[in-house]
Amino acid sequence: MLEDESATATKATKEETEALAQVNERLRRPVRLKARRIAREMSQRVFSLVNADWGMEIEACHRTGVVEVHGSGHLHAHPTVRCSHGRFCPYCAANDAQRRVKRYLPVVMEAAKSYRLQFVTLTTLSLPDGGLEDADRIFWNAWTKLRRRDVWDAVAGSVMAVETTWSREYGWHLHGHGLVAVSWDENYDYGAIQTAWEELTGASIVNFRTIDMSNAEDLERSIRELLKYPAKLSKSGRPPRQGERLSDVPQGTRLRLPDGTEHLPSEFADGEIPREWLLVRDGLLEWPDDAFEEYADWSHGRRTMRSYGVFYNPPEPVETLADEPMEDPVIATVRWEWQRDTSRRSGETLLVFLIQGDKSTSETRPTISDRALGPPIALADTA
């Protein structure tokens, strides 16, 4: 009789079963499986080349955690470990980007009421291996000098993020992606700015794009595009933008044709890039050991974003209970855990547990175990 009562007490409700299935599906989406693979491979490289402790911390990040499922379908994840190595860890890189968006988006939306907004890309000349420190110094010195020139007087503020790329053909290449607020009644001369930047750096490519300030989605998309640049961990690809030409392609970027072959832009005559081509570049995982080590030494404690004027130093977002939906109770609590499994090609098995009763004391029982590769970046879908 006692055994029957115990079985009844621990039987999952329909809501809990549905919540478990929902979390299980979210944990196995391709973007999360890719994140787990990157984390596993990155932890091994960091362990062997940079710092053993960092490598172990990256390996443990988001390996286990708890998800609270609300009645509205809102999922709130609590990973057991956050390693805070956003330059190397895909989970922390995504979380850092999301935090930056929450921090800067309100001030961008406010600036859009008084200024016209422009998306600006500034490039520098490539430097050979061993030149990353110099490339960083050259970019930020030139950026400071540009802001002091008359051609920049119309700008009321900006936020600038540096993207670092490496390629066998060109070595190190730094370029900045910035969002600038321009006064309506002052001249913002693209040609004069490009001439000034070339005088400062020797690099001729400066791109401008006007942001549709009446479109909240375009504003948010632009700020997300900007704030993702400080961290690029693995090979990435994107289709060409409307009207993008071969001469606009940054150094270190290759063109992937529909047949799967990759080519340098210099192999083709200048012109608009066909829409079916992809622009691809290698990330940290594909770099050789010496480039990886140089980047790790350079990036430790390094700022890759700077802001001034109307965008200067917005406050960090503070999460409070008020951020949670009102009258949205937690209907289930689910725990995920990645366990090593040498019988699988991935080397890991995902276990998903339903937690019932008091989370601090209740036992958990496994309900699902199959061939997935890794845990999520977060439960909000972030690429």
Q: Three-state SS for 348?
A: strand
| Cα separation, 64 vs 29, whole angstroms | 17
Under DSSP, the state recorded for 181 is E
pLDDT of res. 2: 37
pLDDT of residue 85: 92
Residue with tokens 């942001």: 211
C-alpha to C-alpha distance for 85 and 92, rounded to whole angstroms: 6
Query: Tokens standing for 133?
Result: 């420190």
d(CA 159, CA 277): 30
Contact 127, 188 (CB under 8 A): no
Measured between alpha carbons, how far is 178 from 226 in angstroms, rounded to an integer? 7
What is the reported pLDDT for 366? Answer: 36
* pLDDT of the residue at 320: 52
Q: What angle do CA 272, 276, 277 make, to 5 degrees?
A: 70
Structure tokens at 149: 């020139």
Extended strands (E) in the chain: 64-70, 75-79, 116-123, 155-167, 171-182, 206-210, 236-238, 254-256, 262-263, 278-281, 305-309, 330-340, 348-355, 364-370
Residue 383 pLDDT:
31
In this prediction, residue 356 carries a pLDDT of 62
pTM above 0.85, yes or no: no
Quote the radius of gyration of the chain (alpha carbons, Å).
24
Digits of tens for pLDDT over the chain (383 positions)?
334 433 433 566 888 888 888 888 888 888 888 888 889 999 999 999 999 999 999 999 999 999 888 888 888 888 999 998 988 999 998 888 888 888 888 898 889 889 999 889 899 999 999 999 999 999 999 999 999 999 999 999 999 999 888 888 889 988 898 999 999 888 889 999 999 999 999 987 788 888 877 777 777 777 777 776 655 677 677 888 888 888 878 777 888 888 878 888 888 888 899 988 988 877 888 899 999 999 999 988 888 889 999 999 888 876 554 455 557 888 888 898 888 777 777 677 788 888 864 443 233 333 333 222 233 323 333 33
DSSP 80: S
Helix, strand counts (H, E) of the chain: 9, 14
219-256: b or e for each residue (b if 16 or more CB lie within 10 Å)? beebbbebbbbbbbbbeeeeebeeeeebebbbbbbbbe
Q: In what order do the strands lie in the sheet with 236-238?
A: 236-238, 278-281, 254-256, 262-263
Q: Which two tokens stand for residue 113?
A: 């009421």
Q: What is the dihedral of CA 129, 134, 137, 140, to 10 degrees?
A: -50
Domains, the chain: 13-92+332-370 (no CATH), 116-235+283-309 (3.30.70.120), 239-281 (no CATH)
Using alpha carbons, list the distances in angstroms from residue 188 to 89, 191, 220. 39, 9, 23
DSSP run (H or E) holding 138: helix 132-147
